[in-house]
Amino acid sequence: MRYADLPDHFAALDAWRADHDLAPGEIIALECATTVPGAITLLHLLARGFSVVLLPPAVPGAPGAPPRLCRRRLTVRGHIVNTAGHAAGPANLAPDRPASFLAITELAEPGPPPPPALATGHVFLRTSGSVAAPKLAVHSHAGLLGNAVLSLERTRLAAGDQIAIPVPLSHMFGLGAALVPGVAVSASLRFIEAANLLRFREHERAARPSVAFVTPALLATLVRPDHAGPPRDHYRHIVVAGDKLAPALFEAAERRFRRVLNLYGTTEMGVIAVADADDAAGPRATTVGTPLPGVALRLDAPEAPDASGAPDASEPGAGAIVCRHPHGFTGYLDDRGAAWPGPPPLVDGWYRTRDLGRLHGDRLEVVGREDHSVNRDGRLVVLAEVERAIEALPGVARAVTVLGGDGRRGRRVLAFCAPRDGHALDATHLRGACADVLPAYAVPDHVVIAAALPVLPSGKVDRRRLAADASAIEMSAPPPREGTV
């Protein structure tokens, strides 16, 4: 469809909403496929002033119930994936007929009415947690737009671009770095639903994109270092958000896609920094460039990652990234729409991202997470939650997780497990049991059975010692099927 057709699509959506008594003032939960109808619906709701809670298409095993802040959920059906994460049946989805792609459902147990000030003009993004209750980051429409326009300083999207969007529109990366900036400059946008390496390549051959927004996990499957094939000369650059790329992956990606721009952002602050396309490959390989204009960064002393009091030895010299952003979020709500009960996330406008970084001159290198968690497959995995889940399995007395080397889904996770008295544990069996209680991206790559876990004189588990053991285990026996949980 063309931008010129947008008013007609919006009018059709107005009519559909009138039939369903859906008007601004009701905060709607939008479960949005990465498709043209998904994008049109989202843009329509924003243009009409709705407050929207954005939800990804449901993934089996991941938390996904809509927040109780909403009375109803609007689902944009996909061509490939329906809301249960299964294949959609044969469907005749037409972007100009909202009834063909929209479904609205009443939600059980809605919470109290939302605060009037938030009932219109806001977007709520769920922060990813692996198992814990999610919270909602609150953005105003103006903030979201300001954030998106600011990111154009580096992504340099333009009207002539063909932009490939294989990432969810419900996350800040897809929404705030790709969709909204792309629309702001009237670029051609193409959405890749249920993206995998096969669908991405099909899209690439058909659309010859000039820019693509990809996650490190997808990128790792698009680039085959042993036979990368010829460079695709239709690309100007790709934008990658997430963990730092391994040097070999960065180099292979630069050959194939011309340039790789690493982007750093969070659900709360939107896009914070993006590498400059004019920078040399060296700084672009290791850093996310300088902060965007008007964004301020500082590095604070990192917290000790666990109760042992020992700072994380794996990232010497790194500090906790604290950020002030002219278009960042305004605060958190809990899932019911009530004020977040935790400590205020913004202190004098500064937000602690819980990421660890180093500065190279003005350029930021993001090295990992502060709070004993890790980004795997684009999702935050809090290792303490993984430990609790394993400890709830039969026969497990104690589980302690440590991070290993880089796998395709992110840093590998090793779980050291001590059996309860009188129980015998089998590593393979226990790892299978983990897959029953944890989403796939949170299942440890290695389960190691240890009769006793090493302890410090204080009686606390010696995580440094386990981290050393983990390195030795990975050196002597790399996972037989790397990272594919």
Partner 1 sequence: MTAAPTPLATRNVPDIIAELKRIIVEDLDVRIAAADVTPEVPLLEGGLALDSIVLYELITLIEKRFGFEIADDQLDTALFANLTVLAGHISRQAP
Binding site for partner 1 (CB under 8 A): 80-81, 85-88, 194-199, 201-202, 205, 217-218, 220-221, 227, 229, 377, 408-409, 432, 435, 480-485
Q: Shortest gap between Cβ of 435 and partner 1 (angstroms)?
A: 6
* Whole-angstrom distance, CA of residue 408 vs CA of residue 24: 43
In three-state secondary structure terms, 260 is strand
**Shortest distance, position 198 Cβ to partner 1, whole Å:** 5
Long-range contacts made by residues 450-458, C-beta under 8 angstroms, separation at least 24?
450/416, 450/417, 450/418, 451/418, 451/419, 452/418, 453/398, 453/400, 453/416, 453/418, 456/308, 458/308
Complex with partner 1: residue 180 or 212, whichever CB lies closer: 212
Give the span between the Cα atoms of 79 and 250, in whole angstroms: 32
Closest approach, Cβ 197 to partner 1, in A, equals: 5
Residue 368 main-chain phi, psi, to 5 deg = 160, -160
CB of residue 440 to partner 1, shortest distance in Å: 8
Q: Which is nearer to partner 1, 81 or 263 (CB)?
A: 81
Q: Closer to partner 1 by CB, 88 or 456: give it.
A: 88
**Which one, 108 or 198, has the nearer CB to partner 1?**
198
Least distance from partner 1 to the Cβ atom of residue 165, Å: 16
Closest approach of partner 1 to the CB of residue 330, in Å: 35
Q: Measured from the CB atom, is 224 or 420 closer to partner 1?
A: 224
CA distance 474 to 28: 47
Q: For the CB of residue 327, give the shortest distance to partner 1 in the complex, in Å.
A: 32
The single residue listed with the structure tokens 């840093």 is 411
Q: Which is nearer to partner 1, 13 or 443 (CB)?
A: 443
DSSP string, 36-59: HHHHHHHHHHHHTTB-EEEEPPP-
Distance of CA 472 to the CA centre of its chain: 31
Residue 117 CB partners (closer than 8 Å, separation 6+) = none
**Closest by Cα among 32, 35, 40 to 57:** 32
Decide whether 185 or 194 has the Cβ nearer to partner 1. Answer: 194
332 versus 441: smaller Cβ distance to partner 1? 441
Query: Judged by CB, which is closer to partner 1: 352, or 409?
Result: 409
Q: Which residues pair with 139 in a beta bridge?
A: 123
Contact by Cβ (8 Å): 227, 200: no
SS3 content of the chain, % helix, strand, coil (to 5): 30, 25, 45
Closest residue by Cα to residue 38 from 104, 101, 127: 101
Give which of 361, 381, 264, 369 is closest to 315, Cα–Cα: 369
DSSP state of 440: G
Taking the complex as a whole, the smallest distance from the CB of residue 444 to partner 1 amounts, in Å, to 12
Report the alpha-carbon distance of residue 25 to residue 114 in Å, rounded: 9
**Residue 309 or 432 with smaller CB distance to partner 1:** 432
Give the nearer residue to partner 1 in terms of CB position, either 158 or 440: 440
In whole angstroms, what is the distance from residue 32 CA to residue 37 CA? 9
Q: Which of 123, 198, 125, 128 is nearest to 166 (CA)?
A: 198
List of residues 6+ apart from 257 with CB closer than 8 A: 212, 231, 232, 235, 237, 238
Smallest gap from Cβ 167 to partner 1, in A, equals: 12
Shortest distance, position 92 Cβ to partner 1, whole Å = 17
Structure tokens at 49: 């002033």
Q: Which two tokens stand for residue 226?
A: 């042993």
How near is the Cβ of 320 to partner 1 at its closest, in Å? Answer: 30
